[in-house]
Structure 1
Amino acid sequence: MTDTTEHRSTAWQTALTMLQEVEPPYVPEGFHVMTVDIEYPPGDPGAPPHRHSGPAFGYVVSGEMLFELEGEPPRVIKTGEAFWEPGGDIIHYQDGNNRSDIPLKFTVTMLCAPHQEMFTLVPEAELTQRANRRAQRA
């Protein structure tokens, strides 16, 4: 009889690479989770200002994303980098393709609050009312 453990791979022991670790805000009972792929063509501005009902955790698969949350300056997230946002009342201003020569693809796992939409556009009147909460841009 042969010990099967001697023939098993040990690659799993070093296969994990930590991309991000955060403590998300409280998640209520009854939430649900969805994971989606989003792909934008070169130069696409992405979704208009919106909010998510719960926290979102993402990873840029290819390309570069211009990412901006309320209260934070815009930043570029490149292939292989992770991002997150708390969701709730925070406005997500930008998630567009930062490059005009290549497409952008990112994967996002979103925790959705019970009985709420995962994605809600922010009306222009609210954007104007909350303009003082947006970080100064160059």
Structure 2
Amino acid sequence: MKIKKLVVSASLMFVCLASQADDNSNRPHETVTPNFMKEIPNIPGKSLIAAVVTYPPNGASPSHHHAKSAFIYAYILEGEIRSSVDGSAPKIYKAGESFYEDPGSHHAISENASKTMPAKLLAVFVVDNGDKKLTLPDGQ
């Protein structure tokens, strides 16, 4: 029963960005699948949350930021992801590579670098237990 509650809670914590309009509104959007959620027993007040983010060919996420407490580690599982965080030059990360986002970061570009092949990453969040919305479109 506790595991079902955790999965439902994790599902509710991820905000689907596909409904938000921005410069990527004509492109296919990512799919976020919650994968894991657990309070960290030796770090009171913190949780570890993981989700798989799948981008269809030419897929993109709207420009966004994450919960203010969120430290994020992203590991590319498949394909190639173009990313720019906090004004950095866009970089393409290939399967097996990774990047991170510090708390409060702005993720201006997050997209599949290919127009023909899918891409997938594992996003791992270390976040305050009380943070319910982990991903927020710009302006929220």
Q: Work out whether the TM-score is over 0.5.
A: yes
Mapped contact 1:64–1:78 kept (Cα < 8 A): yes
Question: Partner of 2:64 in structure 1?
Answer: 50
Structure with bigger strand share is 2
In 1, Cα distance between equivalents of 2:63 and 2:129: 22
Mapped contact 1:63–1:103 kept (Cα < 8 A): yes
In 1, Cα distance between equivalents of 2:54 and 2:89: 23
Question: Partner of 2:80 in structure 1?
Answer: 64
Q: Which residues in structure 2 correspond to 1:18-33 (within 5 Å)?
A: 29-33=44-48
TM-score (norm 1): 0.63
In 2, Cα distance between equivalents of 1:114 and 1:122: 23
In 1, Cα distance between equivalents of 2:63 and 2:103: 13
Gaps of 5+ in 1: 1-27, 127-138
In 2, Cα distance between equivalents of 1:122 and 1:113: 21
In 2, Cα distance between equivalents of 1:79 and 1:41: 15
In 2, Cα distance between equivalents of 1:81 and 1:120: 25
TM-score (norm 2): 0.62
In 1, Cα distance between equivalents of 2:124 and 2:116: 27
How far is the alpha carbon of 1:29 from its aligned partner? 4.3
Q: How large is the Cα RMSD of the aligned pairs?
A: 1.7
Q: Which residues in structure 2 correspond to 1:1-138 (within 5 Å)?
A: 29-45=44-60, 47-53=61-67, 54-88=70-104, 90-116=105-131, 117-123=133-139
TM superposition outliers: structure 1 runs of 4+ over 4 Å: none
